[in-house]
Structure 1
Amino acid sequence: MTLTLDDLLLGDFHVHSTFSDDAVSTLAENIRSAEAAGLREIRLTDHVRSSTTWVPDFVAAVAAERIPAGLTVFTGVEAKLLDATGAVDTPAGLVVCAEGGVDAIVIGDHQFPGTDGPWSPRSTRERLDAGLSDDDALDLLIDASIRAMERTPHAQLAHWFSILPKVGLSERQLGAARLGAWADAAARTGTVVEVNEKWTCPGQEAVAALLAAGARIVASTDSHDARSVGQYDRVPQIVRAATIDADATDRPEVNR
């Protein structure tokens, strides 16, 4: 598989609007910014939980927008990974990849997937301090990630592994075996994985594993303000570093 970095950076697959309570820009403002940045693709994505009822309004609002020539607009809802079973916090009856629905479920690792539900970063650190080993915690995260991909068609992983520094762990602790299993699952299930500008993750080793597995990566800003749509600094660095790693191990190439 050959992927051109320039082409990768012509997409922004995680952009929030005022349908999310922590974003400041409208759908129209995000679309105009994507056009101004010369993007070819954008995924308009907003936060949901099981109680969310506005998804049909969101889909209708996107459909009503003027889409500039040369820009393809996709939709998504961002829902958090809940627990070790891979459950995801989506609204009941959510329509995906069908008329009146969104194009993808963007899964976020906002909390740690615990055995009895989502663990906050503080609660996870307390469990680690009380004796939960780093290895067991990392196994929980990878196993839950794989299960979430297996049970969630049309998925995209958002800012994956951003939870790790919040609980005092690091991507570097994951190791090749865990990253390989995670990346293989992404390829096998057709899950898209974004390289996230805001959170600078997943990192070089994880992206190299995705490339080796043949999984699809996309770029995202996780924008909450239209001024940052399509504006990349960290993503190219991560992907270039992953390419060097890939080349060193005879993996697929991402061209500069």
Structure 2
Amino acid sequence: MTAPGHAEPSLLLGDHHVHSTFSDDARSTLAENIAAAQAAGLDRLRLTDHVRASTTWVPEFLAAVAAEPVPDGVTVLTGVEAKLLDASGSVDLPPGLVVGEGGVDAIVIGDHQFPGTDGPWSPESTRRRLAAGLSAGDALDLLVQGSIRAMERTPRAQLAHWFSILPKVGLSEAQLGADRLAAWADSAAATGTLVEVNEKWGCPGPEAIAALRRAGARVVASTDSHAAEEVGRYDRVATLLAAADGLDTRQEERP
């Protein structure tokens, strides 16, 4: 846990979400990403690629990672990124996926669509529901409920770019409020879920990061890189962590 008011510099020495050519929207190889991590001075790298229920190449991915030479001083981890499906916490994973020894090190859950009561809602569909009378509060409750249940159901989970779905549907993190953030952060701590602060999407925000710190949840940094030149290159993450640090400091100073 990072102590309130004292940001952890070593956080930026890790990149916990980096895509390779195993993802159809990335252009760098595993070897190029590992070399980029060394060049950036990182000591931790999670190679992470997109999966869905129909994905069959995870054993090939793991074998390819294992075959790569790893520079001294760099720890290479693996992950698969899968989307949160619904408010019950279902995640779009291949059946029989091995997690832990002999399998991937983490399941990286993405909020690519909104977790509806009957399955994933696209941003457009969610906006229509909000326009038709779904209240912002009820929608946010669904998102937090789905988040918590996914953390409870998913072994070795890591939340990717969490709350990036909100601006896509016309909502914002500012509307979550302290109680929802506290429940979400407490669940991350209780389940041992990692929560990444994501460079590409610039989320979660300072209030959410501060809530995670107060709960004792583990925060990590990620670029969500799709090209090797992005690996370990932080700007937005550093700003978000510093802002959260300021919030923690002000809370400490209150009488």
Q: Is the 8 A contact 1:149 1:189 kept in 2?
A: yes
Q: In the alignment, what sits opposite 1:132?
A: 134
Q: In the alignment, what sits opposite 1:166?
A: 168
Q: Is the 8 A contact 2:90 2:150 kept in 1?
A: yes
Secondary structure, aligned partner of 1:250: helix
Q: In the alignment, what sits opposite 2:124?
A: 122
Aligned residues: 250
Q: Is the 8 A contact 1:48 1:91 kept in 2?
A: yes
Q: Is the 8 A contact 2:2 2:213 kept in 1?
A: no
Give the aligned CA root-mean-square deviation in angstroms.
1.0
1:112 paired with 2:91, answer no
Q: Is the 8 A contact 1:5 1:236 kept in 2?
A: no
Query: Structure 1 residue 215: deviation in Å?
Result: 0.3
Give distance in 2, aligned partners of 1:22 and 1:157. 20
Q: Is the 8 A contact 1:78 1:106 kept in 2?
A: yes
Q: In the alignment, what sits opposite 1:64?
A: 67
Deviation by residue 1:52-100 (Cα, 9 ceiling, x = unmatched) = 000000000000000000000000000000001000000000000021x
Partner residue of 1:192 out of 191, 194, 200: 194
Structure 1 unaligned regions, length at least 5: 252-256
Query: Structure 1 residue 247: deviation in Å?
Result: 1.6
Query: Structure 1 residue 246: deviation in Å?
Result: 1.1
Q: Is the 8 A contact 2:2 2:8 kept in 1?
A: no
Partner residue of 2:247 out of 242, 245, 248: 245
Partner residue of 1:20 out of 19, 23, 32: 23
Q: In the alignment, what sits opposite 1:155?
A: 157
- The amino acid of 2:82's aligned partner reads A
Q: Is the 8 A contact 2:82 2:92 kept in 1?
A: yes
Q: Is the 8 A contact 1:109 1:158 kept in 2?
A: yes
Q: In the alignment, what sits opposite 1:254?
A: none
Deviation by residue 1:106-157 (Cα, 9 ceiling, x = unmatched) = 0000000000000000000000000000000000000000000000010000
Q: In the alignment, what sits opposite 2:217?
A: 215
Secondary structure, aligned partner of 2:252: coil
Deviation by residue 1:153-192 (Cα, 9 ceiling, x = unmatched) = 1000000000000000000000000000000000000000
Query: Structure 1 residue 36: deviation in Å?
Result: 0.3
Give distance in 1, aligned partners of 2:245 and 2:41. 24
Give distance in 2, aligned partners of 1:22 and 1:66. 24
Q: In the alignment, what sits opposite 1:50?
A: 53
- The amino acid of 1:29's aligned partner reads E
Give distance in 1, aligned partners of 2:221 and 2:8. 10
Q: Give TM-score, length-normalised by structure 2.
A: 0.97
Query: Structure 1 residue 11: deviation in Å?
Result: 0.2
Could you list the runs of 4 or more consecutive aligned residues of structure 1 that deviate by over 6 angstroms after TM superposition? Answer: none
Give distance in 1, aligned partners of 2:216 and 2:181. 13
Query: Structure 1 residue 201: deviation in Å?
Result: 0.2
Give distance in 1, aligned partners of 2:250 and 2:210. 10
Secondary structure, aligned partner of 2:124: helix
Give distance in 2, aligned partners of 1:228 and 1:168. 28
- The amino acid of 2:30's aligned partner reads L
Give distance in 2, aligned partners of 1:21 and 1:5. 34
Give distance in 2, aligned partners of 1:146 and 1:192. 13
